[in-house]
Amino acid sequence: MELQSIVALVTGGASGLGRATAERFARQGARVVICDLPGSPGAEVAAGIGDNALFVECDITNEAQVGAALDAARARFGQDVQVAVNCAGIAIGARTLTKKGPHDLALFQKVLAVNVAGTFNVIRLCAARMAEMAPNAGGERGVFVNTASVAAFDGQIGQAAYSASKGAIVGMTLPIARDLAGNGIRVCTIAPGLFKTPMMAGLPDAVQTQLASQVPFPQRLGDPDEYAQLAAHIVANGMLNGEVIRLDGALRMPPK
């Protein structure tokens, strides 16, 4: 699927991996719908991209809001979304048991609700519209790129909720790809390692340097545009389907 001919939805598109993806897709000719929460810099990001971008306030766990974002895409660009990149998510750090007591259950459930149910909500609603579209010459109607994490495989101390949520993204990649294969829709997942996102940038320089030193090669934090490059390749390469790709410089995370 060629980026210059499609409309792409990017959740979490106001910052970090999502922003880099929205910007790269637009540079390569896609029309981009940036979905993020109220108070995010999504409007500024869209304005910086130009006429090929639209910002829509959207909570990915809310069915009506995701539907409204898809309606807005159709109204603005004259066609439905053919590519969705799911970057929206949250992370917390909390041990299963501390001196203060057990892990807060509501917090655990919130992480799963946003990262897992939110991602699935976007997939199911987009897929329903993709399935109604005419296929391209290769028989494709749509592509999903989801975001897991190396924490799905190498979760550290305090990452029970986050690792569980990202493990779920990994686990649902193949069955959803199989579910949607008959509709000409592909599904892949990227599992990033340590990337220089706003969350990472908020850490002291010494901590960032220490984290970067754990990456075998290249021994640095990832650039969000490197995630975007891979997302763009997944869209373009029709044989990539049902796959989870680690993007981590051979990092295998230690316990802490």
Give the span between the Cα atoms of 17 and 249, in whole angstroms: 16
DSSP calls for 70-120:
HHHHHHHHSS---EEEE-------B-SEETTEEPPHHHHHHHHIIIIIIHH
Query: Please, what sign has the CA dihedral across residues 116, 117, 122, 126?
Result: positive
The pLDDT value recorded for residue 201 is 80
pTM above 0.85, yes or no: yes
Strands 142-147 and 101-102: unpaired
3-state per-residue secondary structure call for 217-251:
CCCCCECHHHHHHHHHHHHHCCCCCCCEEEECCCC
The pLDDT value recorded for residue 202 is 75
The pLDDT value recorded for residue 200 is 83
Which residue type does 80 have? D
Averaged over successive runs of 10 residues, the pLDDT of the chain (256 residues) comes to 95 98 98 97 98 97 98 97 97 94 97 98 98 96 98 95 98 98 98 91 84 94 97 98 97 90
DSSP calls for 26-65:
HHTT-EEEEEE-TTSTHHHHHHHH-TTEEEEE--TT-HHH
Give the span between the Cα atoms of 117 and 98, in whole angstroms: 28
Where in the sequence numbering do the catalytic residues fall? 162
3-247 folds as Rossmann fold (3.40.50)
Nearest to 81 by CA among 20, 151, 24, 145: 145
Element (H, E) at 7: strand 7-11
The pLDDT value recorded for residue 256 is 84
